[in-house]
Amino acid sequence: MKAMVLNAVSRLEDNPTPLSCVDMPVPVPAEGEILVRISACGVCHTELDEIEGRTPPAKFPIVPGHQAVGRVKGFGEGCCRFEAGDRVGVAWIFDACGRCEYCLAGEENLCGSFRATGRDANGGYAEYMTVPEAFAFPIPGAFTDSEAAPLLCAGAIGYRSLRLANLKNGRNLGLTGFGASAHLVLKMARFVYPDARFFVFARSEKERAFAVELGAEWAGDTTDASPEKLHAVIDTTPVWRPVVEAMKNLAPGGRLVINAIRKEDSDKACLAEMSYPEHLWMEKELKSVANVARRDVGEFLALAARIPIKPEFQEYPLEAANNALSEMKARKIRGAKVLRIG
């Protein structure tokens, strides 16, 4: 089969074609695994983190890609969940131990043996992949393959951050940072909490105007005070200043959720400005989001079909994965990028 593989970590500036197109054997599903013929795979920013070594792969060569959609083509021993031809998706969570306290509580995203698709196991930049059947997701009929692929990462993680925000209908939610993942969170939050009010913090005038268009009550700069106290805030920025500022806007008992794999160190010094009475007193909480559990992916796909949420996307052939990654890094085009395979 044809696959795009990564053989070593490098910086995209030094090596604009980090992935090579190779011919490799179709993988054989192990016990409990299914073989999937992939038709579409989303391209994610986390792939840049893998390629450039910020979250390096566990082995080389590795096939990246953790937003894969395809059809079930084969079965390892003991499989019973799907039939041949069923359409399934594979997300960031590839598998986990299934026995630890986190796995038993449905929090397998926190498992010490958590493995990520396309980083710790071969992913979707290929014609075929295998995945444990317990970690594959049926795709709702509302979506085409290419529409479903980008939902499998940012949407599912956004859904988890909204869940962790612990909001109640009628209360106030703040969003600091207003890029693609925050748009998704706002759309789903309006649907799940129809009487909640939304306050958006963004640096650009254009993003603030778009937030109001999408139903925000108020939009201001990341350093502004919100006109009302907020019961929860979700941060999707890569830096610290918006977190420090937003903690001041939290209502007593409020929670701020950081939705980022890594934070930049450039403005870390502003954390020293945190004052206990102003930022944390009155039982305010600060929490991060790590990975996704199966529940998040499954519930989000069902919710996205009901709302509906359909992403804007641009398609590339599998062999053009390097171009898609370069254009993503240069932020040339808005919307998701999807590799079409076969």
Q: Which residues bind Zn ion (CB under 5 A)?
A: 44, 46, 96-97, 100, 103, 111, 153
Nearer of residues 103 and 309 to Zn ion, judged by Cβ: 103
Q: How far is the CB of 221 from Zn ion (least distance, A)?
A: 28
Nearer of residues 109 and 222 to Zn ion, judged by Cβ: 109
CA 127 to the chain's CA centroid: 23
d(CA 76, CA 131): 10
Nearer of residues 153 and 243 to Zn ion, judged by Cβ: 153
Two tokens at 132? 């444990």
Q: How far is the CB of 271 from Zn ion (least distance, A)?
A: 27
Nearest residue to 131 via CA among 224, 57, 51, 69:
69
Q: How far is the CB of 100 from Zn ion (least distance, A)?
A: 3
Q: What stretch of H or E contains 39?
A: strand 33-43
Nearer of residues 114 and 240 to Zn ion, judged by Cβ: 114
Two tokens at 23? 């011919």
Q: How far is the CB of 95 from Zn ion (least distance, A)?
A: 9
As to burial, measured by CB atoms within 10 angstroms (0-12 exposed, 13-18 middle, 19+ buried), residue 3 is buried
Q: How far is the CB of 239 from Zn ion (least distance, A)?
A: 20
Beta-bridge partners for 317: 340
Q: How far is the CB of 219 from Zn ion (least distance, A)?
A: 27
Nearer of residues 6 and 167 to Zn ion, judged by Cβ: 6
d(CA 241, CA 96): 34
Nearest residue to 256 via CA among 240, 277, 273:
240
Nearest residue to 129 via CA among 59, 28, 47:
28
Nearer of residues 158 and 174 to Zn ion, judged by Cβ: 158
